[in-house]
Chains A and B, each alone.
Chain A
Amino acid sequence: MKILVPFKSVPDPNDATVVGAAASTPKSVINPFDEIAIEEALRIRERGEAAEIVGITIGAPTVDEQIRAALAMGVDRAIRIDDSRALDPYAVARILRVLIEKEAPHVVIMGKQAVDDDSNQVGQMLAGLLRWPQATFVSKIEFLSNKTRARCTRETDAGLEVIEIKLPAIITTDLRLNEPRYVSLPGLMKARRKSIEVLTCDQLGVTVRPLTTVLSTARPPKRAAGTRVESVEELVTKLRQEAKVL
């Protein structure tokens, strides 16, 4: 089985000083949900259910650092679509679609959302464009029937749901699917010898233009800090008399 994992570089969400900061160049990392997708692909290969994992990302040469990190985790080879425009999810889905048709994987695993843009669209759009089945927000994957189907547990607003999908299909990952491994030194050494193929949209024969544009960004008004109370009695009195919520 061949697994394809699209991933995105995002500003490190664990670096609190980075969020929204304009002054310094934020450190980039693989989008945490996509890292979970990579980890799942590695585990599937380690179980002997997949032979090859291909990583795909879109961006300028600066994202090569995250590609090396994916290769160091254990991804077999990587493709970078050289495009530094501010693409929207639908443009990303249209580019990925062409590459997926070319690579013909049995399954595509990717994060449910990128933690910078929080759109949660690309996987579903890709499934729609390809007319493939989809399983979103997945916390467990099992392959069945000689790997022609996958049984997926989904995290929904109403609790866990189990569905079965025919392959090929798109699976998007939720937080509790796994905990990604750390990159090892031998992994890093091996990654240096792995290839990064660079392609352009022209070479792929795909013309896309983002249809949504961010005109501006701003910080929301800060919620003012309130008061400290010293006891349960004082808290209950405030909630009753001042806030009038009890």
Chain B
Amino acid sequence: MYNEKVVDHFNNPRNVGGMDAPDAVGETGSFKCGDTMTLYLKVNDGIIEDVRFQTYGCGAAIASSSMLTEMVKGKTLDEAMEITNKDVADQLGGLPPLKLHCSNLAADALHNAIENYRKQHGS
């Protein structure tokens, strides 16, 4: 039911784990189906230098989380803010219609992290 790219990200998720002294942390946890994601960012000069994630969820949620971390590395916060859930699903080459909602957590966690960072740093 999943394409090869989704399966690859699920089997070999990129940038997994926590982070020591992250500059920003974002979370999505209000998912009705129970999926949760925590995203950690290292930010330098407005650029995302490093990223890590932890996700509780199905294959689509884990693959979307992993995909997102590849998409944001090296991006400015403004650029990263533009990334949508649909972009993540598209980058994965699409998800089964029933599983699309499971991919919605990744960009949400990213936006939450950036908002938290901006609140702390007043930028």
Chains A and B are bound partners: no
Write the residues of chain A forming the contact surface with B, with a CB cutoff of 8 angstroms.
none
On B, residues with C-beta under 8 Å from A are none
